[in-house]
Structure 1
Amino acid sequence: MYWSSVLRVVGLLLMLFSVTMLPPALVALIYGDEGLVPFLISFLVILVVGSLIWLPVCRQRQELRTRDGFLVVVLFWTVLGLSGALPLTLSQSPSISITDAAFESMSGLTTTGATVLTGIDDLPESIRFYRQQLQWLGGMGIIVLAVAILPMLGVGGMQLYRAETPGPVKDSKLTPRIAETAKALWYIYLTLTIACATAYWLAGMTVFDAIGHSFSTVAIGGFSTYDASMGHFDSPLISMICVVFMLIAGINFAMHFLAWRTRSLRHYLQEAEVRWFIGIMVTTGIVVTATLMLTQHYDGWGQTLHQAIFHTVSIGTTAGFATDSFDQWPVFLPVLLVLVAFIGGCAMSTAGGIKVIRFMLLIKQGYREVIRLIHPQAQVIIKVGGKPVPDRVVDAVWGFFATYVALFGLMMMILMATGLDQVTAFSAVAANITNLGPGLGAVAANYGDISDLAKWVLMFAMLLGRLEVFTLLVLFTPAFWRH
């Protein structure tokens, strides 16, 4: 392990992250709220700590190895997530514990959107802005991580998509260099954010709310500046704008790059993963709409269609925005939406879940095994986009899924041991490992009433989901630390 190289990167990350305390401090200055001092103190503390880590090793120029890269990726989320809790801990409003502050910060940076806070409407504007900013930074980190870091390590959904399956990222490189690719996708991310904020503002949001909600929409985070989330605005137009940008952000960002470069939308229709993603959203939306209509949960088809479309996309893309209490919906709908969140969005998007590309391969592999039972001698080849997928890729997906399910069950039992009922424990783990946010039962509104142990377990679930399991688990193997 090249500890000097790892520490140099961590120190740089902390120094860069300290700068993110300045925009909320500026908001505090503009609105004259009490957040100015906590954010300035946080800026100085994080900057000094980062400098103390970086300075002793700043002249080290050793190349990061794969093993070092794994550690850097995990530290990227854990160190910054915990550092982000500092201004929330120092602030008098909200007055929360270190555990709650860490939970809120980690939830924001991993774009999970689970919150322990109530009375968000009455919090200082600087804190409300900071929560939204955390999600935007997390979304940007996901894109850069997926393109610039994970492919080099040979892990994660993007590696699976780019190196192992057919598609535009493999067949035609976005740009010659990884750094240029990350920069190009960051520009797309920024452009989408500006477009989303502008659309929200034109639809009636204030500038503050438009910027804040564009941050969490494009990042598919789900934080809002209000307790009622998108329901606060009571506007079908705003809800549909949110739907459009959640769908865009849930699609592989390489598709957006190719559409921009070629000035054509045909790549979206040609890509199998995108077709499956849209198909899942449409199918789920039809089932939800029909069920709400048959049970007459809402008055009139207009409100039914509005609520069905919004929540299908919001939960299905793992954003977690709400305009109503979907956990109170009739029959099987709440569980259906949580299960759809397990699939999530496309690889190399800001959405959570196991990713559509993995779901596709799981379904195709299951079908292949059925055919093999009927025709034992048949050579059945799994294809994506008309091209064969190597068996080792399919095996890797099954290994991922098996580990995912095993860890899910373990964390659920730990939560039940803390006193949570089955529905709450199941949905809490599901909502955090998929980076969805809102759950069912006791965590439908917020996570403030669960135990500290449960919150730390769920923070681990957030990291598992965001780092796609193996990137984090590899650090817990003895072989990783052997020379």
Structure 2
Amino acid sequence: MHFSVIFRVLGILLMLFSMTLLPPIFVSLYYNDESLVAFLSAMGLIFATGCLLWLPSNKTRHDLRTRDGFLITVLFWAVLGIAGCLPFIFSDQPGLSFTDAMFESLSGLTTTGATVITGLDDLPKSILYYRQQLQWLGGIGIIVIAVAILPMLGIGGMQLYRAETPGPVKDSKLTPRITETAKALFLIYCTLTITCALSYWAAGMTLFDAIGHAFSTVAIGGFSTHDASMGYFDSPIILIVCMLFMILSGVNFALHFYTSRNRSISHYWHDPEFKFYISCLAIGIPITIAYLAHTDTYDLETSAIHGSFEFISILTTTGFGTADFTIWPGFLPFFLFLFAFMGGCAGSTGGGMKVIRVLLICKQGIREIKRLINPNAVIPIKLGQTSVSDRVVEAVWGFFAVFVISYMIMFILLMATGLDFLTSVSAVGACISNLGPGMGDVALNYTDINNPAKWILCFAMLLGRLEIFTLLVLFSPSFWRR
């Protein structure tokens, strides 16, 4: 393990992160709010810490190994969570405790969207902007962004990319070089963000709200600048724009890249994961709308808007809201909540287990049924025309098993802190799938739950964002052996 290189990388990345506080500083100056000193103090402290980590090892040159990449990824997210919470602590508004500030920071960076802050409409504009920006940075993964420049500093980037990029297949590259891959992803991400912001602005949002909500929409984060979330705007056009970009952001970014490069959308329709993703939307949305209309919860038009929006928001793990889906009648709240465990496609900004894993689990289940009828048959699992190796299927089942076990342990721990069953089971589910809103006492926010529960949920958010194994591998004794 090359600890000198690890500290050097962490130092560089912290110094880079300190620069991301410049936009909130400019926002604070523009609106003349009271958070300027908080952001300046946080920026100085983060930059100084980065320098202290970087200086002792700035001349060290070693290639990063896979284990180094995993450790840097986990350490950076933990360190970045601490760095990101400083403005929330230093600012008089919201003036959060360390626990609450850490929860808010990690929720933003992991694009979970769970919040402990109420009274958003009265907060300083710079704090509101900063929350949205945290999600935008977390959406693409600040480490993936950083590998575009790390090679220029003499540090190989593929190990970081493999540890950070979500999905069961880690080795696929959009372009031959990792630097070009990171740039391609970042360009697509920025293009979607700018297009989304302009669309929101054209639909009637203020420029400030349009930029802020574009950040959290494309990041599939769900933070809003208003307590009422998207319901604040009371505009079907804005909701339609939001639904479109949530769906696009839940798609594998590799497909967006191939489409932009080849000027063709045929890649979407040939991709099995995308087709399964669209099929889930095509099945779930009509069921939600029909049940809302059938139970007279809303009229048909309102059912169509609210039903479509909430289903897309929850399936993609964005977490925006126009209504409190937890009080909808019958099975509907649980029906919607279960789809969050699937989440978006691999290679997207969405959370959850990822569509490709759910698809492979379904195909494996079908194969086992066929084997009961024909025990000696050789039945390959295929995605399109490509056979999937048994090693990949085993990895998917391993991920699913660890996901369920982790969920159960944290759910029991949460109940041990004093939370009720519904709150516990939904809070862990909402955090490990990076959804945000849960049910019970966490349907609207996480303000009133106890501090031990918040730390457990912080771990759940990291576990979900880093796709379980990236974090848990550090707890394996063999990881630390030479």
SS in 1 for 2:64: coil
**Residue of structure 2 equivalent to 1:347:** 346
Aligned to 2:412: 413
Alpha-carbon spacing, 1:47–1:315, altered in 2? closer, same or farther (3 Å): same
TM-score (norm 1): 0.96
**Is 1:422 aligned to 2:421, yes or no?**
yes
Give the match's secondary structure for 2:96. Answer: coil
Give the 5 Å matches for 1:248-327.
248-298=248-298, 300-327=299-326
Shifted more, 366-375 versus 11-20: the winner is: 366-375
Residue 227 (structure 1) shift: 0.4
Residue 81 of structure 1: how far off its partner (Å): 1.3
Change (3 A) 1:463 1:158: closer
Question: Aligned to 1:160, what secondary structure does the other structure show?
Answer: coil
Work out the CA distance in 2 between the residues paired with 1:143 and 1:270: 30
Q: How does 1:109-258 map to 2 (within 5 A)?
A: 109-141=109-141, 144=144, 158=166, 160-161=168-169, 163=171, 174-258=174-258
Contact 2:42 2:86 in 1 (8 A): yes
Matched, 1:14 2:14: yes
Q: Which residue identity lines up with residue 169 of structure 2 in the other structure? A: Y
Cα 1:153–1:125 change in 2 (3 A) is closer
* C-alpha contact 1:345 1:353 (8 A) present in aligned 2: yes
- 8 Å Cα contact 1:150/1:156 also seen in 2: no
The 3 A distance-change label for structure 1 pair 282 and 130 is same
Q: 1:267 to 1:329 in 2, by over 3 A?
A: same
Per-residue CA shift, 1:73-114, capped at 9, x if unaligned?
Answer: 111211111110001001111122100000000000000000
Query: Residue 144 of structure 1: CA displacement?
Result: 2.2
Structure 2 alignment gaps of length 5 or more: 149-156
Matched residues in 2 for 1:150 and 1:320: separation?
A: 31
Could you say if the C-alpha distance between residues 54 and 155 of structure 1 is closer, same or farther in structure 2, counting changes exceeding 3 Å? closer
Deviation at 1:146, TM superposition (A): 12
Cross-structure match for 1:454: 453
Deviates more, 1:258-267 or 1:154-163: 154-163
Following TM superposition, by how much is the alpha carbon of 1:161 offset from its aligned partner in structure 2, in angstroms?
3.2
* Distance in 1 separating the partners of 2:245 and 2:161: 30
Counterpart AA for 2:476: T
Letter in 1 for 2:214: S
8 Å contact kept, 2:65–2:159: no
Identity, % of aligned pairs?
58
Q: Deviations over 1:239-272 (max 9, x none)?
A: 1100000000000001001111111111101100
- Compute the RMSD of aligned alpha carbons: 1.6
Is 2:23 the partner of 1:48?
A: no
Runs of 4+ in 1 over 4 A off after TM superposition: 145-159
1:431-450 counterparts in 2 under 5 A?
431-450=430-449
Tell me if structure 2 keeps the 8 A contact 1:70–1:153: no
Contact 1:146 1:158 in 2 (8 A): no
Q: Does 1:33 align with 2:41?
A: no
Indicate if the aligned counterparts of 1:158 and 1:347 stay in contact, CA closer than 8 A. Answer: yes
| Cα pair distance change 1:155/1:242, threshold 3 Å | same
- Per-residue CA distance 1:380-405 (angstroms, 9 max, x = gap): 11111121111111011101000000
Distance in 1, matches of 2:377 and 2:58, equals 59
1:332-358 CA deviation, whole Å, 9 max, x = no partner?
A: 111111110000010000000000110
Deviation of 1:145 after TM superposition, in Å, equals: 7.2
Contact 2:167/2:347, CA 8 A, preserved across alignment: no
Instruction: State whether residues 318 and 437 of structure 1, in contact with CA within 8 Å, keep that contact through their aligned partners in structure 2.
Output: yes
Change in CA separation of 1:155 and 1:22 when aligned onto 2, cut-off 3 Å? closer
Amino acid in the other structure paired with 1:436: L
Distance 1:39 1:157 in 2: 30
Distance in 2 between the 1:97 and 1:371 partners?
Answer: 56
2:435 alignment partner AA = L
Q: 1:363, 1:243 → 2: CA distance? A: 27
- The change in CA–CA distance for 1:131 and 1:386 in structure 2 (over 3 A counts) is same
**2:4 corresponds to 1:4:** yes
What residue is the counterpart of 1:90 in the other structure? Answer: 90
Query: Which residue identity lines up with residue 364 of structure 1 in the other structure?
Result: K
TM-score, normalised to structure 2's length?
0.96
Q: Which amino acid aligns with 1:35?
A: S
| Native 8 Å contact 2:141 2:164 kept in 1 | no
Report the Cα distance in structure 2 between the residues aligned to 1:372 and 1:64, rounded to whole angstroms. 44
1:66–1:153 Cα contact (<8 Å) kept:
no
Displacement of 1:212 = 0.3
Assess, with a 3 A threshold, how the Cα gap between structure 1 residues 347 and 249 changes in structure 2: closer, same or farther: same
One-letter code aligned to 1:290: A
Aligned residue in 2 for 1:468: 467
Alignment of 1:368-387 (within 5 A): 368-387=367-386
Residue 338 (structure 1) aligns with: 337
- Paired amino acid for 1:388: S
- Residues of 2 paired with 1:263 and 1:189: CA distance? 17
Any stretches of 5+ residues in structure 1 without a counterpart? 164-169
Distance 1:21 1:61 in 2: 29
Structure 1 contact 249–349 (Cα < 8 Å) conserved = yes
Contact 1:142 1:350 in 2 (8 A): no
CA distance in structure 1 between the partners assigned to 2:135 and 2:370 by the alignment: 44
Please report how far the alpha carbon of residue 119 of structure 1 lies from its aligned counterpart in structure 2 after TM superposition.
0.3
Kept in 2, the 8 Å contact 1:88–1:101? The answer is yes
Kindly indicate whether the alpha-carbon contact (under 8 Å) linking 2:271 and 2:384 is maintained by their aligned counterparts in 1: yes
